[in-house]
Amino acid sequence: MNSESTNAVLLGGHLPPLQRRRFGALMTTVTMLGLAVILAQAMVVVKARPQDLITGIHGMADLLSRSVPPDFSSFPSQLWPALETLDIAIFGTLFGVILALPLAALAARNTAPAPVLYHGARAFIAVCRSVPDLVWALLFVTAVGLGPFAGALALTIHSVGMMGRLLAEVIEDMDMGPMEALASTGAGRLQIFSHAVVPTVLPSLMSITLYRLDDNIRSSLVLGFVGAGGIGFQLLTAMSLFDYRTVSLLLIMTFVIVIGAERLSSALRQRVA
Amino acid sequence: MRYPTGRLALQSASLTVQPGELAVILGANGCGKSTMLRIIAGMIKPTGGEVRIAGRDITQLAGRALAEARMALGMVFQQPHLVRRRSVLANVLTGTLGRHRTIYTALGGLPRAEIPHGMGCLKQVGLSHFAQQRATTLSGGQAQRAAIARALAQRPRALLADEPVASLDPEAAEEVMRLLRQLATREGMAVLCVLHQPELARRYADRLLGLRQGVIAFADAPDKVSPAEIDSLYEGFHPA
C-alpha cells in the first residue's frame, strides 16, 4: 500500500485515480519491454544458440567419458606445478603488501606528506588495479619470459592496486589522536607512521592480506594459461594434447587448492579480527 | 592572534608560567583557550608576539628546529590518544622517539636504552604494574595517566594540558589533577592546563587565568579570585 502510493507520487501522482492506475500499468509494461530488448540484444551479440547445447550433448558426454577416471598416476608429477601455483600467489601477496603499505600511506589524505605524492600514489594504485592481472601476466611474460616469475610479478602489481586502495581507506578512517600525540612529542614523520599508524591498522592489514592471498591463489591458477607457470600451464598443455584424464585430475587439484585456501584464509581472518 | 579567516581569536594576551607552578586557564567555549594552547605548543603560528620556552622564541622556528624545541613541551590532550594495541610501556616509550631518530626507530623499533626511563615515568604516575599490559585494558583515568607518562618520557620542562579531565569521571579527574599538582610541586615542572571545572581549578591551581573573548580578564591566585569573577567568564553561555 505504502510503496504503491509512493510509486503513484513518482509516476503520475497528479492524475485522477483511474488514469493513475492505467499510467502505472503502462510504466510496468514499458519497463518489461525494455528489459526484454536488452536481454534479446545480449543473446544476439553472444550468438546464443540453445539448440547447440542439445546437439552438443554428445560431445560433452564423450568428453566426460574420456576424462574418467582421473589419471592419478601423473599426480606426483603435478605436485611441483601445484606448489608453483601456491608460491606465485604467496610471492604476489607478500611483495604486494610490502609495496602497498607505504604507497597507501602516501595515498591516504591524513598521512600524505605532500599533495603531489598523494595524487601520484593514488594514480599509480589506480593503474595497478584497473589493468587485470591476466594482462599484467601477458606483459611480464614478454618482459621476463615464460614461467612462474612472470605470474608472480603480475600478481604483485595487481595486489598493490587492490590492497593499496583498501589500506589507504583504512588509514583515512583511523583515529588521528595517536598521530597528533606523537607529533607533539617531536617524533618524525616515519616514526609516527610506524609507531602510531601501523599498530592501529595492523588487524585490518592482516585480514586484507589474507583475503588477497585467497584471491591470488585463484588468479594464479588461471595465469598459467598465458604461460606464467603453475597448474594453469599444465591444464593448457593437457587440453591441447586431448589428455582429458589429466585435465580431470588437475581440476580436482584446483578444486582442493581453491577450497582449502578459502577455508584457511577465512579461519585466519577470524583469528586476527 | 588573528586567524586567516579574519577572526580575532586572541589579543594582547601575555602570560608566564614558572617552573613548579600549576596555572589553569578558565573560560567559556570559543574564548581563545585552545588557540592560546596551540600557539604555545607551536602547532600554529601567531600573527604577532612570541612564545619563549626556556628563553628561546619558538615562533621563529620551523621544521626540525621547531620539532626539537617542542620536545621541551609535553602535551596532554582531552583524550589519552594511546595506541590501543600496544603495551602501556611501548606507548610511554614513543614519547622518547624525538631524541632517537634512527632507522631502527623509524621502522617501528623502540629505543631500548629508554626502558628504565620509561619505567620511571610509569612509576611517577603510579602505573608500574601495568607496563606490559595492552593500553586497551586501562580505565579512563589510568589511560590519561599513561598519556601523562608518555609526555614525561619526552623529558619536558613544561606540560601543556588541554582539558585533560573532560572525558573522565569525577574520581579519575581528581587522580589526574593530583598527579599534575605533584609534577609541578615535586618535579618543578611548569604546568599550564585548560580546565572547564572552576571548582577543580580552585583547589589545584597556583594561579587562575580567566580568558574572555581573547583577552585575559584576570590572573591571580585562586583565593584572590572571587566566584563572581569566574561566573562572569561564562555569562551568556548559561541562559538558564
Task: Give dist(CA B109, CA B97) in Å, integer.
Answer: 10
- The answer to whether B150 faces chain A, any CB pair under 8 Å, is yes
Q: Does some domain include residue B149?
A: no
Residues A15 and A86 in one domain: no
Q: Does some domain include residue A61?
A: no
Inter-chain contact A178–B68, Cβ cutoff 8 Å?
Answer: no
Q: Does some domain include residue A53?
A: no
B63-72: b or e for each residue (b if 16 or more CB lie within 10 Å)? eeebbebbbb
pLDDT in tens, chain B (240 residues): 555 555 556 666 677 788 888 999 888 877 778 778 888 887 777 777 778 877 778 777 777 777 777 788 888 988 889 988 889 999 999 988 888 888 888 888 888 888 889 898 988 888 888 888 888 888 888 999 999 999 999 888 888 998 888 888 888 888 889 999 988 888 888 899 998 888 888 888 888 888 887 778 787 787 777 777 777 777 755 444
Q: Does some domain include residue A260?
A: yes
Q: What is the residue range of A178's domain? A: 80-272
**B22-26 vs B207-212, strand pairing mode:** parallel
Inter-chain contact B85–A202, Cβ cutoff 8 Å?
Answer: yes
Q: Does some domain include residue B88?
A: no
Residues A85 and A24 in one domain: no
Residues A39 and A98 in one domain: no
User: Does the pLDDT at position A252 exceed 60?
Assistant: yes
Q: Does some domain include residue A115?
A: yes
Q: Which residues of B touch A198 (CB under 8 A)?
A: 108
| Predicted TM-score of the model (pTM) | 0.76
B76-111: b or e for each residue (b if 16 or more CB lie within 10 Å)? bbbbbbbbbbbbbbbbbbbbbbbbbeeeebbeeebb
Q: Before B239, cis peptide (omega within 30)?
A: no
Residues A135 and A222 in one domain: yes
Q: Does some domain include residue A75?
A: no
For residue A268, what is the domain's CATH number? 1.10.3720.10
- The answer to whether B77 faces chain A, any CB pair under 8 Å, is yes
User: What is the pLDDT at residue A160?
Assistant: 96
What are the grid coordinates assigned to A97, written together? 603488501
User: What is the pLDDT at residue A57?
Assistant: 85
User: Does the pLDDT at position A215 exceed 70?
Assistant: yes
Interface of B with A in 205-234 (CB under 8 A): none
Q: Does some domain include residue B53?
A: yes
Residues B230/B198, Cβ–Cβ less than 8 Å? yes
Q: Does some domain include residue B145?
A: no
Nearest to B196 by CA among B9, B15, B23, B28: B28
pLDDT class of A129 with cuts at 50, 70, 90: very high
Q: Does some domain include residue A125?
A: yes
Interface test mutation site (partner A, options B83, B89, B152, max chain A beta carbons within 10 A): B83
Q: What is the residue range of B34's domain? A: 1-72+156-240
User: Does the pLDDT at position A106 exceed 80?
Assistant: yes
A184 to chain B, minimum CA–CA distance in Å? 6
User: What is the pLDDT at residue B8?
Assistant: 58
- The answer to whether B38 faces chain A, any CB pair under 8 Å, is no
For residue B16, what is the domain's CATH number? 3.40.50.300
ipTM rounded to 2 decimals: 0.80
Q: Number of structural domains, chain B? A: 1
Residues A25 and A106 in one domain: no
Residues A158/A133, Cβ–Cβ less than 8 Å? yes
Q: Does some domain include residue A62?
A: no
Q: Number of structural domains, chain A? A: 2
Inter-chain contact B81–A181, Cβ cutoff 8 Å?
Answer: yes
Q: Does some domain include residue B121?
A: no
- The answer to whether B79 faces chain A, any CB pair under 8 Å, is yes
Q: Which residues of A touch B43 (CB under 8 A)?
A: 184
Q: Does some domain include residue A96?
A: yes
Residues A88 and A166 in one domain: yes
* Mean pLDDT for the stretch of residues A242-253: 90
Nearest to A136 by CA among A219, A234, A15, A47: A219
Interface test mutation site (partner B, options A98, A175, A195, max chain B beta carbons within 10 A): A195
Q: Does some domain include residue B92?
A: no
Interface of A to B at Cβ within 8 Å reads 175, 177-178, 180-182, 184-188, 190-191, 194-196, 198-200, 202-203
Q: Does some domain include residue B227?
A: yes
Which among A187, A191, A199 is the nearest to B85, CB-wise? A199
Inter-chain contact A178–B85, Cβ cutoff 8 Å?
Answer: no
Q: Does some domain include residue B94?
A: no
Q: How far apart are the first and last CA of chain B?
A: 32
What are the grid coordinates assigned to A34, written together? 525494455
Q: Before B19, cis peptide (omega within 30)?
A: no
Which residue's C-alpha cell is 604577532? B48
- The answer to whether B143 faces chain A, any CB pair under 8 Å, is no
